[in-house]
Amino acid sequence: MCIFCKIIDHQIDAAWVHQTEDVVVFADACPSAPGHVLVIPKRHVEKVTDLSKEEAMKLYDVVFDVQKAMVDVWQVPGQNLQINSGAIAGQEVFHAHIHVIPRKSPRSGQSPVFVALETRMKAVEALRAYFNTCPIQS
């Protein structure tokens, strides 16, 4: 089982933010900025291009809600979306995912480092509460 499937299966802890029937959102363990999350399909496929178009649209639907939530909760002035699809493009975990990276300040240029689970939980606490208390009906 891949590392993201283990997170979905609760075999590995993660700082969960939100989930739908088909999609899970949790904090990246090595965030490029505080609040960096990954949006992943529950079904294991290696790359986003292995999803059906319908599944890809469901994934993007959640990406959009996460972006809106980051604006509402953190008033972020900018965000980066990133999809690394295939080893040649820098993909390291071969379970399809989309990075949503809030930008409150310009990119530091420093390489991301591992952040403890507790710190990640704190970083996404308000975002998780937002989805728990006022889930977006899509």
Catalytic residues: 97
Q: Are 31 and 103 in contact (CB under 8 A)?
A: no
Give 33 or 73: the residue with its C-beta nearer to ligand 5GP.
Answer: 33
| 117-133 and 53-74 helices, crossing angle to 10° | 100
Q: Are 85 and 49 in contact (CB under 8 A)?
A: yes
Residue of 10, 90, 109, 133 interacting with ligand 5GP (CB under 6 A): 90
Contact 39, 66 (CB under 8 A): yes
Query: What is the residue whose two structure tokens read 């991301």?
Result: 112
What is the x/- site pattern for ligand 5GP, positions 49-68, by CB under 6 A?
--------------------
Do residues 47 and 18 make contact, with C-beta atoms less than 8 angstroms apart? no
* Cβ-based nearer residue to Zn ion, 44 or 122: 44
8-47 residues in contact with ligand 5GP (CB under 6 A) are 12, 14, 26-30
With CB under 6 A as the contact rule, the residue among 21, 92, 113, 116 that binds ligand 5GP is 92
Residues that bind ligand 5GP in the complex, under the rule CB under 6 A:
3, 12, 14, 26-30, 84, 90-93
